Amino acid sequence: MGIPEKQWAQVIEPDNSLVYKQIPVPKPGPDEVLVNIKYSGVCHTDLHARNGDWPLDRKLPLIGGHEGAGVVVAKGSLVGDEVNVGENVGVKWLNGSCLACEFCQKGDEPLCAHAELSGYTVDGTFQQYCVAKAAHVSKIPKGVALDAVAPILCAGITVYKGLKESGARPGQSVAIVGAGGGLGALAQQYAKAMGLRVIAIDGGDEKKALCEQLGAEAYVDFTKSKDLVHDVQAATSDGLGPHAVILVAVSELPFQQAASYVRSRGTIVAIGLPANAYLKAPVFGTVVRMINIKGSYVGNRQDGVEALDFYARGLIKCPFKTVPLSDLPKVYELMEQGKIAGRYVVEIPQ
């Protein structure tokens, strides 16, 4: 089957409306591949891009999406045997980077000043055919289902990296804040696979049921708890609080609470990106309890290889719901209301 001239896409127009329409199929540049996207996860970052609520300029008109799983259908003249037509690959948030700056050379490609971001500074995966830099696509092993693996390409890689950044060791406890969302659900699975004990924090009974199913040892409901700091500390076996906190929530308050319940010498890893939000911690307590507070931003290419390898080995099992690409606005509506337990994946028409 040849590559068509036209394709279906969800386009954010310059007036910020989201329109499902036919547009031309893009052509890959010399160092790029063209990927026929089969499925794409819907990350809360796509909603930030749709709402334009971050202090970072986005391309407009814009096609969102950065958890795309599909098949390479064409490649540019400079792409060698490292990626071939017919192979299954993933298109991630980091669509490309310069590969030559200090950050790229040291394996911190997400920090590259010339990084291109899928579904933000370049068109993403909510279309049938997407362009990505050959050096940055992730190889998806044969036999791995493209719908289930899609959320690994952002949510999975990001939380895997964040857990490594936390320094938590097997047997230690980690609080996952926003545990019932897309990143949170996968964070629970990676944490368990890494030998960590999970305290899940989120709101509502549907998310409670999901967290229990995913193996959390405790669930603290932020909508019901009268003393969240006490409840989180009490959920650890010795009452001293979690060794690490992974913040993947989409509101500001948890970013200001974590320093109160993390264990002394513990680490807080900020990953969620609520608009206009600030981290807060008392200087005295942070100093005398030797608390470490840091950010973590997606992952490099090797983090992608490792996160996909955990998945391919059957260690990461996460429920997801699939809807057609045309239903993307409904997914955004549910996401805005905080009603999504786990991840939605959109099926791209073929």
| Binding at 297: pick from Zn ion, ligand NAD, none (beta carbon under 5-8 Å per type) | ligand NAD
Judge contact between 331 and 344, C-beta under 8 A. Answer: yes
Binder to ligand NAD among 48, 50, 136, 192 (CB under 6 A)?
48
Closer residue to ligand NAD (CB): 70 or 203: 203
| Binding at 202: pick from Zn ion, ligand NAD, none (beta carbon under 5-8 Å per type) | ligand NAD
Residue that has been written with the tokens 């990296």 in this structure: 161
Judge contact between 87 and 72, C-beta under 8 A. Answer: yes
- DSSP at 168: -
Binding-residue pattern over the window 53 to 92 for ligand NAD, x denoting contact by CB under 6 A: ----------------------------------------
Find the part of the chain contacting ligand NAD (CB under 6 A) among 101-109, 113-121, 172-180, 189-197: 172-180
| Binding at 101: pick from ligand NAD, Zn ion, none (beta carbon under 5-8 Å per type) | Zn ion
Closer residue to ligand NAD (CB): 6 or 330: 330
CA distance 107 to 251: 30
Judge contact between 322 and 130, C-beta under 8 A. Answer: no
List the alpha helices (DSSP H) in the chain. Answer: 44-51, 102-105, 146-149, 155-166, 182-193, 205-213, 228-234, 253-261, 283-288, 301-312, 328-336
Judge contact between 16 and 48, C-beta under 8 A. Answer: no
Within positions 137 to 156, which residues make up the interface with Zn ion, using CB under 5 A? Answer: 154
Within positions 221 to 280, which residues make up the interface with ligand NAD, using CB under 6 A? Answer: 222, 248-251, 253-254, 271-274
Closer residue to ligand NAD (CB): 335 or 348: 335
| Binding at 136: pick from ligand NAD, Zn ion, none (beta carbon under 5-8 Å per type) | none
160-186 exposure pattern, b = at least 16 Cβ within 10 A, e = fewer: bbbbbbbebeeebbbbbbbbbbbbbbb
Within positions 178 to 207, which residues make up the interface with ligand NAD, using CB under 6 A? Answer: 178, 180-184, 201-203, 207
Find the part of the chain contacting ligand NAD (CB under 6 A) among 94-102, 279-287, 319-327, 332-340: 332-340
Closer residue to ligand NAD (CB): 28 or 342: 342
Judge contact between 86 and 71, C-beta under 8 A. Answer: yes
Closer residue to ligand NAD (CB): 91 or 298: 298
The backbone torsions φ and ψ at residue 297, rounded to the nearest 5 degrees and listed phi first, read: -125, 115
Provide the minimum distance between the beta carbon of 256 and ligand NAD in the complex, in angstroms, as a whole number: 10
| Residue 335: partners with Cβ closer than 8 Å, 6 or more residues away | 42, 44, 47, 344
Contacts with ligand NAD by CB under 6 A lie at: 43-45, 48, 154, 158, 177-178, 180-184, 201-203, 207, 222, 248-251, 253-254, 271-274, 296-298, 335, 338, 340
